[in-house]
Amino acid sequence: MFKKILIANRGEIAVRIIKTCRKMGIKTVLVYSDADAGSLACEMADETIHIGPSPAAQSYLIQDKIVDAVRQSGAEAVHPGFGFLSENPVFARRLEAEGITFIGPNPHAIEAMGDKITSKKFAAEAGVSTVPGHMGLIELTEEAVKIANEIGYPVMIKASAGGGGKGIRVAHSDADMAEGFAAVKAEALTAFGDDRVFLEKFIVNPRHIEIQVLGDKHGNIVSLFDRECSIQRRNQKVIEEAPSPLLDDATRKAMGDQAIALARAVNYDSAGTVEFVAGQDRSFYFLEMNTRLQVEHPVTELITGVDLVEQMIRSAAGETMAFKQEDLSINGWAIESRIYAEDPYRGFLPSIGRLVRYEQPEEGDQGDYTVRNDSGVREGDEISMFYDPMIAKLCSWGETRDAAVTGMARALEDTHLSGVGHNVPFLSAVMDQERFKSGQLSTSYIKDEFPDGFRGLEPSEEQKDIFITVAAAMNEVLAEQAGDPSERTDWTVLIDREAHEVSLSYDEAEDLVISLDERDLTLSEIDWRPGMAQFRAVLDDEPFTAEVKRAPDGFDIRHRAARARVRVLTPRAAEMYQRLPEKVAADTSKLVLSPMPGLVVDIPVTVGQEVKSGETVAIIEAMKMQNILKAEHDGVVKAVGAKAGDPVAADDVLVEFA
């Protein structure tokens, strides 16, 4: 077994690999860029080596720097994690030539499966069902439009070297194809250094289901069953679960058999994932094979008890797999929510900055569910513009899917972040939706359920009870702290402008009793004091956590996806308050604002130019993605506030119309 491994990655996956290496008694060496100096992964690694500036193209993607670091540290093997060089056959071959072990599949398998076009040809030869499409390389936009018409719209445009949801667009018309083809080529070149693009038929209302495979260097290959990854945004997975609620035993076995057959065709010898697009009728077609560890691997580990990172290391060391297919089974259900630094209320745009506060849920057995949180950042760390804005992968496990969903909802409640925008409210909304609970999923789920974007959910009656009791309890604590001599027990609680008359008292156990609408609500086990961002308590025997913040005239309270300004007032003050006029939002209809911090790629309009609705007026790049901003109405350009190459902040004015 290896004595020292170099980790050619960063963030949460580097932390994840370090944890397994510690368990196995293996020393770790971590390479890091300027942006990652002092990171959690750097703190945990046994040794660290600086490899350059923050952009990945100047650090994590430079093979010479990785090899030099291996030589400098005396490491025997390299674990690439995911992304960066993890699916680069040239890198794997170079390590092999240098006498360094690559902890991943053999270079032939990476080359055959890592390229989306070649992998589909292999799949067809191995008898794996594939999606109709054009597997040849396409250079010209005109050629792409012609081929798309032959396949039939809708058509998916995909970067051959793509991954992580980048370099993918769906075209529904010739105009979409012309614009999307150029955009995908540009994104692919920026993200992967490879602008090759291919086309395939887009399956309507599909589900994304994948099979985890594992092989060793002795010809043994097993399936560790399936994961459902249908909850996606911009082709980026957001919520994953294992197993899939769609599959029956027969379909699960058929998919597993095909995945193993494909892996066997290239002598696969590590952890890898065979991805399928599935119809609601359980028909399925091969999409691609990821020749690396997947971001969502924790849910497979939770239902099988297999440490995939450990198995990759053992396979690379030449060990024979210690179990066979018949030794594996599915135990319970697991869900993973990807927590990103992005603002769901602003179209899920990236939100960079300092993580001022980060309170994580308690990991381990929580009674009816188990929590696992894979994170690579700590409170006070910077969320960098140079890398994907992932903060954590929060996982829950339960004996049933219902238990796992309930556990995830509670774990999200117990997660508090501030300093950057984050998608925890959105993830909570999905957990609370009946459609998700029923397992009726598709890759269009987010678009279907939130067609006008995410604005949160209206509070349920139970959540209104939480808002009222939390605000009343905080008001009592603050009054006592201030030495308020008033012994008032009757209050009016406003949820935004909705009034609720309440009366407060205490029972024999000194728990707060709130009389509301001829009901008595009991709030016990209160865990809050001024300055705390989370209010934990038990309301009528149901534990909950709410996010709270004092405001000049009340409290801002969020429970899961519902949030409101809540005020505790005397009845007379409440009556006067409701007479105040509503605040009118500023008119920004003539402004094109930058939706996020980023870099201006292009502003293809000039002062005095007439612009039609739908025309592109700016292109902003952030987190390796290009965002095309279009005019929402006809107009004449009055001013242009930035130029190509300029860095911009969120809400900076890019274009102003007369």
Residues that are catalytic: 288
3-state secondary structure of 213: strand
Using alpha carbons, list the distances in angstroms from residue 490 to 241, 500, 516, 572: 47, 11, 11, 11
CA–CA separation, 503 and 399 (whole Å): 41
Helix axes 141-151, 174-192, angle to 10 degrees: 120
Query: What is the crossing angle of helices 308-316 and 297-304, to 10°?
Result: 100
Nearest residue to 537 via CA among 569, 555, 511? 511
Q: Are 289 and 451 in contact (CB under 8 A)?
A: no
CA–CA distance, 201 with 464 (Å, rounded to integer): 46
User: Do 80 and 86 meet the contact criterion of CB atoms below 8 Å apart?
Assistant: yes
What's the rounded Cα separation, in Å, for the pair 564 and 508?
A: 32
What is the C-alpha to C-alpha distance for residues 55 and 1, in angstroms, rounded to an integer? Answer: 34
Strands ordered across the beta sheet of 284-290:
284-290, 271-278, 207-215, 221-233, 236-242, 333-340, 390-398, 370-375, 364-365
Q: Which of 42, 48, 86, 71 is nearest to 309 (CA)?
A: 86
The backbone region for 74, taken as left when phi is positive above 0, alpha when psi lies in -120 to 50, beta otherwise, is left
- Asked if residue 496 lies in contact with residue 564, where contact means CB atoms within 8 angstroms, the answer is yes
Rounded Cα distance, 520 and 540, in Å: 9
Short-list 310, 315, 223, CA closest to 264: 223
Kind and range of the H or E run holding 16 = helix 11-24
CB 159 within 8 A of CB 184: yes
- Phi and psi, residue 428, nearest 5°: -65, -40
Burial tier of 127 (Cβ tally within 10 Å: 0-12, 13-18, 19+): exposed
**DSSP structure string for 69-104:** HHHHHT-SEEE--SSTTTT-HHHHHHHHHTT-EESS
572, with CB counted inside 10 A (0-12, 13-18, 19+), is exposed
Task: Give the count of beta carbons closer than 10 Å to the beta carbon of residue 417.
Answer: 24
Beta strand 77-79 with 101-102: parallel, antiparallel or unpaired?
A: parallel
For residues 186 and 180, what is the distance between their CA atoms, to the nearest angstrom?
10
Query: Which ranges constitute the DSSP H helices of 283-380?
Result: 297-304, 308-316
Residue 158 to residues 150, 360, 619: CA-CA distances in angstroms? Answer: 17, 36, 20
User: How does DSSP classify residue 130?
Assistant: B
